[in-house]
Structure 1
Amino acid sequence: MPRRSADTRAEIRAVALELFAQRGFEQTSLREIAERLDITKAALYYHFPSKDKLISELFSPLVVDLEAFSVDAVASGPEGMRATLDGYLELCHRHKMLFQGLLRDFGALARLDVLDALVRKRVELDRALVGSDRPADRARAVIAFGGLQDCVVLMAEEPLDSYRTAAVDAALRALLPD
């Protein structure tokens, strides 16, 4: 694939994200990324000295978005459940290629502490959503958020608006105690 612009670093990120989403982080080599871009492996290393640095940079926007989202979700508390769930679905959709890569390869992210940071933030969100630390309440939050993430990954080819309402409604039902 010939390069389309002068922003090689951005092109590397875009191609890497696509390949990671398709195959996983460990199963994609830097050589494959370089070949797809028709650049040398040395040129790729100039921009990203290791695959770990590339992966970390790809996850940085998700971590930033999740942090900002978390502040809003904690502030709205259980009263803002629908808006929180809809916002989370939107966030997951925006970063769906990363979630696809995550599904294929948790190990690479555990090595980089990315997974720990994401899990800690999710636990915080679970608690904020239900306003409780009780295991039964948190289980409902885990199912609600996890279900939204799964929708985005498993329905990646579908437009978000084709399933948004159904997904948020189902997540809300999971949150309501019997």
Structure 2
Amino acid sequence: MTATRRAGSETRAEILRVALELFTERGFEGTSIRDLSEALGMTKSSLYYHFEGKEAIIQALLASRRAEVDELLEWIDGQEPGPELLRRAALRWVDSTGRERILGMRFAHANGPTMARLAAQGGTRGWFDEAITRILGPDAPMPSRLRARMAFDTVSAALFAAQGQPASEADVLAAARAATIALTAPD
């Protein structure tokens, strides 16, 4: 096997991209380090140079998602508070969804036990609670908070609904956008 030489940051990005695809397709448990190294055209030792193992790869993928949420939080903090802020923030999230985030959501759907374990370790489920509190305030009633959470989770819901359907990513995003608008309509 001939290893492909790349810059360190390019190699890490490629490892994350390929790992996400394989973990989604074969499952986290069903994908070995050997599978990853073969798909990348590198030795296992080269892969271990960049990541200690599969768990470290998942942590890096989650860190990337967390950075996207932090970016959204910064944007929220710079906005004028008001009744339209929830809609604008949730649509910003939906509209910024690209292929990698969709793959991440598909991974989450396909790897329930792994995601449950990560959630128990402080995973992704509560990340939008911070955004919701900043938008609605800490004393917002629970039904309003749940609706806001649903507005941020429309892409995942649309992906779930699209399983087994001939829906494209554009179809999923269009459905998610429409659901976000409906969920954030004034009472």
Normalised by the length of structure 2, the TM-score is: 0.74
Q: Is it true that 1:97 corresponds to 2:107 in the alignment?
A: no
Structure 1 residue 143: Cα displacement: 2.1
Structure-1 residue corresponding to 2:122: 116
> AA paired with 1:116?
G
CA RMSD of aligned residues (A): 3.2
Q: 2:75 aligns with which of 46, 54, 72?
A: 72
From the superposition, tell whether residues 59 and 3 of structure 1 become closer, same or farther in structure 2 (CA, over 3 Å): farther
- Contact 2:158 2:173 (8 Å CA) reproduced: no
Q: How does 1:1-178 map to 2 (within 5 A)?
A: 6-7=6-7, 8-76=11-79, 77=81, 78-93=83-98, 94-112=100-118, 116-131=122-137, 133-151=140-158, 158-160=168-170, 164=173, 166-176=175-185, 178=187
| Alpha-carbon distance in 2 for matches of 1:75, 1:114 | 31
Identify, as 1 or 2, the structure richer in helix: 1
> AA paired with 2:104?
L
User: Which deviates more from structure 2 when the two are superposed, residues 13-22 or residues 162-171?
Assistant: 162-171
Structure 1 residue 148: Cα displacement: 2.9
From the superposition, tell whether residues 52 and 137 of structure 1 become closer, same or farther in structure 2 (CA, over 3 Å): same
Q: SS at the partner of 2:84?
A: helix
> AA paired with 1:141?
A
Structure 1 residue 6: Cα displacement: 2.1
Structure 2, unaligned runs of 5 or more: none
Q: SS at the partner of 1:116?
A: coil
- Contact 2:21 2:103 (8 Å CA) reproduced: yes
Structure 1 residue 114: Cα displacement: 8.6
From the superposition, tell whether residues 58 and 2 of structure 1 become closer, same or farther in structure 2 (CA, over 3 Å): farther
From the superposition, tell whether residues 172 and 130 of structure 1 become closer, same or farther in structure 2 (CA, over 3 Å): farther
| Alpha-carbon distance in 1 for matches of 2:144, 2:50 | 45
Give aligned pairs, total. Answer: 177
Q: How many percent identity over aligned positions?
A: 28
User: Which deviates more from structure 2 when the two are superposed, residues 134-143 or residues 67-76?
Assistant: 67-76
Structure 1 residue 27: Cα displacement: 2.6
Structure 1 residue 73: Cα displacement: 2.6
- Contact 2:73 2:131 (8 Å CA) reproduced: yes
Structure 1, unaligned runs of 5 or more: none
> AA paired with 1:171?
T
> AA paired with 2:140?
D
Structure 1 residue 152: Cα displacement: 5.1
